[in-house]
Structure 1
Amino acid sequence: MNRKILNLAIPNIISNLSVPLLGAVDTALVGHLEDAYYLGAISLGGMIFNFIFWGFGFLRMGTTGITAQAYGEENKTESVMTLARALMVAGLFSFLIILLQAWIADISFWLVEASPEVERYTRIYFDIRIYSAPATLGLYAINGWFLGMQNARYPMIVTIFLNALNIALDVYFVYALGMHVDGVAIGTLIARYAGISLAVTLLIYKYRDWLKGYAQTVLLEVKALKKFFSVNRDIFIRTLCLIFTFSFFTAKSASFGDVILAANSILLQLWMMVSYGIDGFAYAAESLIGRYKGSRQQKRLKLAVKYCFIWGVGIGVLASAIYAVFNVHILEIFTDQQKVIATAMTVFAWTIAGPTVSSFSYLWDGVFIGATETIPMRNSMIIATIGCFLPAYFIGVEFLGNHALWFAMTLFMLARGATLTYYAPRYILKTVDT
């Protein structure tokens, strides 16, 4: 079992870590420019696109779970049609995002309190990156399908290629051409389309025989569509809560001023770097849990849950220890602005606790997605957001200031892990073979 987990997890970890590496490079590039508002613009721009694109994360998660179960059942037609339906939905929503971009921008800037300089440069970033929507959503669907097919290598190849190209382009545009946030946005746009081109090439190369199972007559089959949208509806609601939490966090950071916004942005990058590492095992759980549920192998399912948690929580504990030891030295990688570093250090204890606290929620997410038991995920996120995060912030902000944001975020992660642990015996661990 450990070998199967590592065969799936290691490629996922490698590819996942390239994602925050890209964010870290972007942060470091603009963090060393002359003014803090460039870093604030990248942070707010990233927040807006997280809200737009992460909302469609179900195109990856739901596709993985449904495909993995079809793979376990050895149902080739359903596997291919799941991909077709995901790409159909990705195309439709991409068109709507681009069509409604002006409204999306206006609403985003109305909701977020930012300085005029930050808003100005965020708009420049937004107006360019919005056109990456078709490539971004399409990649969600294809990479999710690869994972459901127990293939973690192709998403790794695509993600590393995409992010390496993105980093190279960002460095070139910012340093060689003297651009700022517009260079980062253009680099992202080009890299996304290059990435989906590679993904389609790999898909055709490896799965040409599988693609012959495509059947136009069952694309809009009611029963299959009902399952697809039922699973993805709950994931969508769950993801909206997650996006809201992180967007609220960034927006309130901006309301505290450009320096706190910059400091919190760096610290949030550190949280995300570890989350992507732990998610390697969460993704392995998605693939294996879905496969074993589809093939009715409950004992293997429980074993996969156990070992994914051992590996994933271990990474979280290790990351917390590294942050505790190297704290300020890590911050200096991201910026040389002493005010930003000093501000970040005042709340760095929350970042030390973050990886260990968050690991449980990340891993349970993978387990529940693989089992397509999405109702508990939805309920857990609603409880964590409305019942824990928001009250913790509003009660604490008057007394704790920026610490209230970090306390609320930590409590949010704790609540997610605790509620999913509560749901697990009923929805995952006590399922019997049929």
Structure 2
Amino acid sequence: MNKEILRLAVPNILSNLTIPLLGMVDLHLMGHLDSSVFMGAVALGGVIFNFIYWGFSFLRMSISGFSAQAFGGRNRQEMSLVLQRGLMIALAGSFMLLMLQVPVAQIAFRLLEGSDSVKEISRQYYYVRIWAAPAAISLMVFSGWFLGMQNAYYPMIISVSVNLINVVCSILFVRFFGMQAKGVALGSVVGQYSGLVLALVFFFKKYRWVWQYFTIKIEYLRKGLTRLINVGRDIFIRTLGIIAVFTFFTSKSAGLGDITLAANSVLLQFLLFFSYFLDGFAYAAEAMVGRWFGAGNKAYMKQTLRLLFGWGSGLGLLFTIVYGVAGQHLLSFFTDQIEVIERGKEFLPWIVILPLVSFGSYIWDGVFVGATASVAMRNSMVIASVFFFFLPFYLLYPTLNNHALWLGMVLFMLARGVFLTLLFPKLMK
């Protein structure tokens, strides 16, 4: 079974590794311009798209779980209809997002903190990158569906291609055409649409049979659509908790000054880099737990869990050691601005302990997604975000300042894993 876990996890890890690479390159490009304002502006604009894309991430997660269960139950018609329903929601949501892009920007920049110069550059970034939304959201559906079909290879090729094209285009637009933040945004647009074209090519190459099960009959679509929306609603609320925490984190960082915003943005890349390794095993959990859940095989599901948590704890320990030993050197990769590096060193110890306290939350997320146990995911996230991030922050911020943000982040990640551990026995009944 370890071989099966690695067959699903390793491609996802390889594809995920290109995602932090993209963030690192963006920060590197902005960090070597003539002002720290550009780093903060891209980070602030990135918060808005984190909100948007994480908001739609319920599609990837719910599609993954439902398609894996249909695969385990060997129900070809349901495998196909899961994809059709997901694409319908993706296209409708993308259209609404483009129609409402101006009011979305007005609300976002009114809520987010930051200097006028940071916000002005961030607006330029936003109005270019927003046009990538239809491709990015549709790719979530295809990636989730491919994974549910126990195919981790296609999502890997698509993700790696998207991010490598993005990196190359961003370097080209920034370094050779002098487009600054707009160049990074345009690189994202080109990368996402290239990925969508590749996803369609793969789909027609291997899954052409799906077309015969697509339907315009409302009764077939509505039956599964209602369940998808109900699960998606819970996962959306759960995702809103993550969005609220990370958006608040960046916004409050901006309120502490451009240097602190830049330093916290760099340190968050450390957390994201670790998360993409753990997400590889979380995606494996989605596919395998969903398959065993759909087939009603609890024995295999328990065996899978033991192995997954072995991998998760090992990676958590490894990253804690790496960040403890080489963390200060890694800061210098992102920027050559001394004041940003020195500010980052002050808060580096929080990053060192995060992998050990957070690995469980990633594995459990994959397990509960595969079982489509969305209510438990929703409730645990609400408790963790309200009582273990926001409450400690407001109590301690007057004395700890930026340290209160990082303490809240550590408690938030730990609480997510603890609560899902407590709720798992109910799932197995």
| TM-score, normalised by the number of residues in structure 2 | 0.99
Asked if the contact 1:85/1:219 (under 8 Å) is kept, the reply is no
Partners of 2:299 and 2:259 lie apart in 1 by: 52
Tell me the equivalent position of 1:162.
162
Q: Deviations over 1:344-399 (max 9, x none)?
A: 11010000011121111011000000000110100000001111110111011111
Q: What runs of 5+ residues in structure 1 fail to find an aligned partner? A: none
- Percentage identity across paired residues of the two chains: 46
Q: RMSD of the TM alignment (CA)?
A: 0.9
Does residue 46 in structure 1 map to residue 46 in structure 2?
Answer: yes
Does residue 207 in structure 1 map to residue 207 in structure 2?
Answer: yes
Tell me the equivalent position of 1:398.
398
Asked if the contact 1:278/1:313 (under 8 Å) is kept, the reply is no
Tell me the equivalent position of 1:5.
5
Partners of 1:222 and 1:88 lie apart in 2 by: 12
Does residue 106 in structure 1 map to residue 106 in structure 2?
Answer: yes
Shift of 1:218: 5.4
Tell me the equivalent position of 1:278.
278
Partners of 1:112 and 1:219 lie apart in 2 by: 43
Partners of 1:298 and 1:17 lie apart in 2 by: 32
- Larger displacement relative to structure 2 (172-181 or 400-409): 172-181
Aligned length: 429
Tell me the equivalent position of 2:234.
234
Shift of 1:219: 7.0
Tell me the equivalent position of 2:318.
318
Partners of 1:265 and 1:65 lie apart in 2 by: 32
Shift of 1:324: 0.3
Partners of 1:64 and 1:247 lie apart in 2 by: 26
| TM-score, normalised by the number of residues in structure 1 | 0.98
Asked if the contact 1:81/1:219 (under 8 Å) is kept, the reply is no
SS in 1 for 2:270: helix
Tell me the equivalent position of 2:34.
34
Tell me the equivalent position of 1:378.
378
Q: Deviations over 1:105-164 (max 9, x none)?
A: 000011011101100100000000111110010000000000000000000000000100
Tell me the equivalent position of 1:150.
150
Partners of 2:57 and 2:312 lie apart in 1 by: 21
Tell me the equivalent position of 1:344.
344
Does residue 365 in structure 1 map to residue 365 in structure 2?
Answer: yes
Tell me the equivalent position of 1:95.
95
Shift of 1:327: 1.4
* Residue type at the aligned position of 1:285: A
Asked if the contact 2:81/2:221 (under 8 Å) is kept, the reply is no
SS in 2 for 1:395: helix
SS in 1 for 2:56: coil
Partners of 1:195 and 1:37 lie apart in 2 by: 30
SS in 2 for 1:347: helix
Superposition misfits of 4+ residues, deviation over 4 angstroms: none
Q: Deviations over 1:288-317 (max 9, x none)?
A: 000001111110011111111111221121
Partners of 1:161 and 1:271 lie apart in 2 by: 23
SS in 2 for 1:343: helix
Tell me the equivalent position of 1:58.
58
- Larger displacement relative to structure 2 (211-220 or 239-248): 211-220
Asked if the contact 2:83/2:141 (under 8 Å) is kept, the reply is yes
Partners of 2:172 and 2:160 lie apart in 1 by: 18
Partners of 1:332 and 1:70 lie apart in 2 by: 48
Partners of 1:155 and 1:218 lie apart in 2 by: 30
Tell me the equivalent position of 1:249.
249
